Amino acid sequence: MPPAARYEYHDFGPPAGSFLEDVVAGLSAPKKALAPKYFYDDRGSQLFEEICEVPEYYLTRTELAMLQAAGPEIAARVGSDAAIIEYGSGSGRKTAVLMRAVQPAAYVAIDISSEQLRVASAALAAMFPGVNVAAVCADYTRALDLSKLRALEGRHRLIFFPGSTIGNFTIDEAAGFLANARRVAGRSGAMLVGVDLKKDPALLKAAYNDAQGVTAAFNLNLLARANRELGSDFDLSGYEHRADYDDGKGRIEMHLVSTRDQHVTVAGQRFAFAAGESICTEYSYKYSVEEFQTLARGAGFEPSHCWVDPHRQFSVHFLTAPGSP
């Protein structure tokens, strides 16, 4: 563990009842749905790291290569003595690339998966001993008060939101999330965000239906987590993973489809599933560069620069506050 003066951990995690309440509400809705933020228990986080390595999932390796290539330019735009605040920090692989380039004074990792957060943030603190590191276990989709973090005192901020996780929000939700990120960044701050681009639907569908079945296992783990933590009785053999692209809405839609008529009990409440009925577990919106820049402007950011990979599959946007460098 790194020296205490350089590392701080805070647990702002959601109340214990939140998962249960959200599962009951989601299964009670006319169209059943579960929030994708609940994918990331310890097992789910491990499975997601495996997804990042499958051949069909181009997003991670493409964004990593882009961050490495653009590192010096990003560093010049960020400037010295910055604090990086990362939403959904995950394993920290992309973070390490960014930190080597920017050489920040401080780094704040925010993630809902407590075990992965502790391991990854401690590893980064050891890797960058001159950087003040703070780990915050929290649901970053909610407003957070970071005012008491020592690591942020007196420093301009760069919000880092890689992985095209912005696509998991609806358009309205993404606008609200960006507006909140703009408030956290402050007038002299900026945001670096990875955004998956619209492309051939066949490539998109392959990325979310890998041949090894890792994404299917990741999706089904959401039901396994409910069984482990809530005492529900989902029969995982009665559900199948499905991911399709809706061209009209510009999004991947991921579902767990019931293969038969069945019932599930959660916290004493019984829910019926007809054969073919599904639980929507994730949207993944895809944007054109212009669409995302318009969204960012509406949230109070000014698009400063955009990097696009040679195959035009992925984009990385540098957003600033009006009037900031």
Rounded Cα distance between 92 and 121, Å, is 7
| CA-to-CA separations, 160 to 88, 185, 203, 227, 318, in angstroms, rounded | 9, 10, 26, 33, 10
List pLDDT tens digits, range 166-202: 999 999 999 999 999 999 998 889 999 999 999 999 9
Residue 134 lies in a domain: yes
Asked, for residue 184, whether it belongs to a domain, the answer is yes
pLDDT, average across residues 142-160: 88
Q: What percent of the chain has pLDDT over 90?
A: 82
Q: How far apart are CA 10 and CA 214, in angstroms?
A: 32
Report pLDDT digits (tens) over 48-79: 999 999 999 999 999 999 999 999 999 999 99
Structure confidence at residue 325 as a pLDDT band (50, 70, 90): very low
Residue 1: which pLDDT band, with cuts at 50, 70 and 90? Answer: very low
Helix (H) or strand (E) run with residue 231 in it: none
- Checking if the pLDDT of 324 tops 60, the result is no
Residue 323's pLDDT band, with cuts at 50, 70 and 90, is low
Beta strand segments in 54-151, E:
83-87, 106-111, 132-137
Tell me the C-alpha distance between 261 and 27, whole Å.
15
Specify if 177 maps to a domain: yes
277 within domain boundaries: no
Q: What 3-state class would DSSP assign to 319?
A: strand
Question: In percent, how much of the chain has pLDDT > 70?
Answer: 97
- The residues, any chain, with a CB within 8 Å of residue 76's CB and separated by 6 or more, are none
pLDDT at 113: 83
pLDDT at 115 over 60: yes
Indicate whether 4 pLDDT > 50: no
* Predicted local confidence at residue 16, as pLDDT: 65
Average pLDDT over the chain, rounded to an integer? 93
CATH of residue 85's domain is 3.40.50.150
Whether pLDDT at 272 is above 60: yes
Q: What is the DSSP letter of 287?
A: B
What's the confidence (pLDDT) of residue 274? 98
Domain count, the chain: 1
Instruction: Note whether residue 104 is domain-resident.
Output: yes
Residue 20 lies in a domain: no
pLDDT higher than threshold 90 for residue 142:
no
User: Is the residue at 78 inside a domain?
Assistant: yes
Its domain, for residue 176, covers 54-199+288-320
pTM of the model: 0.93
Whether the predicted pLDDT of 14 surpasses 80: no
Which tokens belong to 45?
């986080």
Residue 41 lies in a domain: no
